[in-house]
Amino acid sequence: MILIREASEVFLPDGVATHASVLIEDGRIRDIGRQVTARGAEVIDARGKTLLPGWVDSHTHVVFAGSREFELDLKLQGATYREIAARGGGIGYTVQQTRRVSEERLQAEAELRLDAMLAHGTTTAEVKSGYGLDTKSEVKMLRTVRHLNERHPVDLVPTFMGAHAIPPGVDREDYVRLVREEMIPRVAEEQLAVFCDVFCEEGYFSVEESRAILQAGREHGLTPRVHADELSDSGGAELAAELKAASADHLLMASPRGLKKMARAGVPAVLLPAVPFSLMQKRYAPARKMLELGLDVALATDLNPNCWTENMQFVIQLACFAMGMTPREAIHGATLGGARVLGLEREVGSIEVGKKADLLLVNAPSHLFVPYHFGVNLVETVIKDGVVVCGG
């Protein structure tokens, strides 16, 4: 048993409790309130600090080999994402690196990032394949996720994303067929993924190709998600609505019509503001408009070699400063919002009796400080499944 005593604020789904304590037993939240005590419990003094749910980072590509720091100079010279890809950078570059390394090496590189994620408060994360782009390498990536999930405190939810790009030298029709007829059945057979994701974008996969791939995934038990309207309005939001996908992600360029369809279909938006930041763009996703339409808005890092941050606090800061979200909306999007996208809202994402004790004690007198006091790691103690795994 752990008693987190007298936090200046406890962040609850519908408000905050001040000067409140939280009791943890058997890895779960047992009690919340001002009067909570427990004889024999280990006590964590939370005075002056805020207790938050662990971050649920619902969109990452944390498994990859190598890095692409050379792209920074190209970006500074004004090159776009597509231009960098055409010059030998981008997804293709990371695919070369990822194919080349052993599973052990891939695991070791990703593990360092998971350590950093945990230290910054992420307790659950989704992870996509998509830097293999052949059956063997896609399976290698997803097995890496499985092994990491077994040995690392951060809970991982795997997504198959063979449709991340068309590999060089491969005919697109042949590749779509390979994804549908070979990769998806193989991934399903080995139970390597929960979701199937597609980069629906001009130059990557068309709406028709994306639909065909996501339907094949669904037939094999994989729930669809969509990288939608990141670089142009390519119909991704509409497709996600049509398929009642678990989410549509990015949505920088989504049309108002697409967003309305998502709202009607109840498809959540996953916003990734570190992406326009890393691409040095002025335009961010229209979060306020989405919230007005009644969309559920989740926030995630998109951690990948183009957008390398393990830090959900930074994402929350960008959501407030660049997209106009309130601190509560942003923290909600980084916790319960992400948990809903992953179908884990009954287990994680909020501080409620009965839920898993995935909790963060942050060095802040209220949740407002999470965006307000930026550029440092405010997370002091991370509790995962009722165990102190960082700080404390």
- Residues of the shown chain interacting with ligand NIG in the complex, contacts defined by CB under 6 A: 61, 90-91, 94, 199, 227, 230, 275, 302, 304-306
Bridge-based pairing of strands 50-53 and 359-362 is antiparallel
- Residue whose Cβ sits closest to Fe ion: 302
**Of the two residues 46 and 84, which places its CB atom closer to ligand NIG in the complex?**
84
Give CA separation, 75 vs 90, 279, 283, in Å. 12, 7, 15
Q: How far is the CB of 118 from ligand NIG (least distance, A)?
A: 22
Residue 230 is which amino acid? E
Q: Does residue 103 contact residue 138 with C-beta atoms inside 8 Å?
A: no
Report if residue 126 touches Fe ion, rule: CB under 5 A: no
Given ligand NIG, Fe ion, none, residue 30, with its beta carbon under 5 to 8 Å by kind, binds none
Q: What's CA 201's distance to the chain center, in Å?
A: 20
Report if residue 302 touches Fe ion, rule: CB under 5 A: yes
* Piece in contact with Fe ion (CB under 5 A), picked from 41-49, 82-90, 105-113, 294-302: 294-302
d(CA 354, CA 348): 10
Q: How far is the CB of 58 from Fe ion (least distance, A)?
A: 11
- Identify the burial level of 77 via C-beta atoms within 10 angstroms of its C-beta, where 0-12 means exposed, 13-18 middle and 19 or more buried: exposed
Given ligand NIG, Fe ion, none, residue 306, with its beta carbon under 5 to 8 Å by kind, binds ligand NIG
Tell the residue number behind the tokens 């060095």, with chain if given: 363
**Of the two residues 212 and 226, which places its CB atom closer to Fe ion in the complex?**
226
**Of the two residues 67 and 191, which places its CB atom closer to ligand NIG in the complex?**
67
d(CA 49, CA 65): 37
Q: How far is the CB of 159 from ligand NIG (least distance, A)?
A: 11
**Of the two residues 111 and 302, which places its CB atom closer to Fe ion in the complex?**
302
Q: How far is the CB of 306 from ligand NIG (least distance, A)?
A: 3
Nearest CA-CA partner of 305 in 62, 76, 57: 62
Q: How far is the CB of 236 from ligand NIG (least distance, A)?
A: 11
Nearest CA-CA partner of 123 in 366, 352, 312, 374: 312
Q: Distance between the two ends of the chain, CA-based, in angstroms?
A: 15
Q: How far is the CB of 270 from Fe ion (least distance, A)?
A: 9
DSSP sequence for 159-185: EEEEET-PPTTS-HHHHHHHIIIIIHH
Bridge-based pairing of strands 15-25 and 2-12 is antiparallel
* Piece in contact with Fe ion (CB under 5 A), picked from 74-82, 206-214, 302-310, 338-346: 302-310
Given ligand NIG, Fe ion, none, residue 111, with its beta carbon under 5 to 8 Å by kind, binds none
Residues within the interface to Fe ion (CB under 5 A): 302
